[in-house]
Amino acid sequence: MPSPSFSLNIGLMEARLRKFLGTDTLLSYWLLLPTLVFIGVFFLMPLFNAIMLAFRADNGAFTLDYFKKMVADVRFIETLKYTFLLAVTIVPLQLITALAMALLVNTGFRGSRFFLYLFALPLGISDLAAGLIWLSIFTQHGFLNSILYSLGIIERPIYFISYQNIGLTFLAVVVAEHWRATAIVLVILVAGLQMISKDYLEAAEVLGARGWRKVWYVVLPMLKPSLQSALIIRTIFALQTFAVVLALAGDIIPVLSGEAYFWHFLYRNSHIASAYAVFLMVISIGMTWFYLRFLRSRMEVIRG
């Protein structure tokens, strides 16, 4: 005859099973199933196949040849350099600008809403269109040269976009990207600012911290989660900058996503294109991990 504790265990298991099969939990899984299948078939499977493209040759054999070829490319070092240089230059610049804009808009002065929409306007156009707009400004017969010439400042047009003036070309790309994408960071920061409880700000004022000190000691620490999200999002997109660089600088400034594009569409080797894409993905994941690790909010640390 089974021991009493044994039958008690069976009873507990039965009760747990019955609870699990109870309508709510199982129904939730059933409702999720169509979405999961859709994501699996149209997103995860193609993603997996695309990643495997970089590792699998046409005959199905596993190989690292494509990565080796990618690294051995004549312009690989240059590509890496510019991809990182672009991200490292743009992200802090945009962060500071967006923060200033967000703080300004958050004061709620008359017309602040209008300025918020104005700042966010470039978000509505595609990045290729943004690149072309700035191309028409920086090109030899573009707006900038025409204005400078008519003001008598220059005698001959300046070749802003050329290999000889690669510094200027890079600057042009930075300006265009800055104009186009600061709003992404701005919108996140504005949302974050509005979530800060007024109590903290009033307490700070009462205790004598106002203006810049209030911002530095109260607002910014509370803004850390938003800053973290904005940084992660903006850095990943900055590493993937593609259309703006292509439109403005063409072949002069190579970047990883551009090389992936050319390898697939121009040189017709999808394997190497996929290698570039996988490499970019790994870098993005790495940066995200880095941010999440080192930008933990101090509040969590205090609590923990």
Partner 1 sequence: MRKYGIWAVALFLSAFVGFAAQEITWMSTQFVPIAEAQFVRNELLKPFAEETGIDVKFIGAEYAEFVSRVEAEYEAGKGEIAVLCGLHGDFVSVVDALADLSGVAVGGTISDTLMKLGRMGGKQAYIPLMQATYLMVVNKKALEYLPEGADIWALTYDDLLQWAKNIYEATGMQKLGIPAGPKSLLHRFIHGYLYPSFTGYQVLAFDSGAAVKMWEYMKELWQYVNPAAPTWDAMDTPLLSEEVWIAWDHTARVKQAIVERPDDFIAIPSPAGPAGRGFITVLAGLAIPTTSPDFDAAAKLIEYLTTPEAQVKILQGVGFFPVVAEAAGAVPTGALQILAKGVTAQAGSPDAIVSFIPGGISDEYKKIYKDTFFKFVIRGEPVDVRFLRSQATRLRELYLEADAPYPAPDGG
Angle, helices 166-194 vs 76-106, to 10°: value is 40
Residues that bind partner 1 (CB under 8 A): 73-75, 135, 139-141, 156, 159, 161-165, 246, 248-252, 258, 262, 266-269
Q: Which is nearer to partner 1, 21 or 74 (CB)?
A: 74
User: In the complex with partner 1, which residue's Cβ is closer, 43 or 163?
Assistant: 163
Dihedrals phi, psi of 203, to nearest 5 degrees: -60, -40
Nearest distance in Å: CB 159, partner 1: 5
Long-range contacts at 277-284 (CB < 8 A, ≥ 24 apart): 277/50, 277/54, 278/51, 278/54, 279/67, 279/70, 280/239, 280/240, 280/256, 281/51, 283/239, 283/256, 284/235, 284/236, 284/239, 284/240
- Enter the tokens of residue 204: 């700070």
The SS3 call for residue 62 is strand
Q: Which is nearer to partner 1, 84 or 262 (CB)?
A: 262
Q: Which is nearer to partner 1, 43 or 265 (CB)?
A: 265
Least distance to partner 1, CB of residue 141, Å: 5
Q: Least distance to partner 1 from the beta carbon of 40, Å?
A: 27
CB 58 → partner 1: shortest distance, Å?
11
Comparing CB distances to partner 1, the nearer of 234 and 271 is: 271
Q: How far is the CB of 232 from partner 1 (least distance, A)?
A: 30
CB of 219 to partner 1, least distance (A): 43
Q: What is the 3-state secondary structure (H, E, C) of 81-130?
A: HHHHHHHHHHHHHHHHHHHHHHHHHHCCCCCHHHHHHHHHHHHHCCHHHH
HSE (side-chain half, CA atoms, 13 Å) at 75 = 15
Identity of the residue, 35 or 164, whose beta carbon is nearer to partner 1 in the bound complex: 164
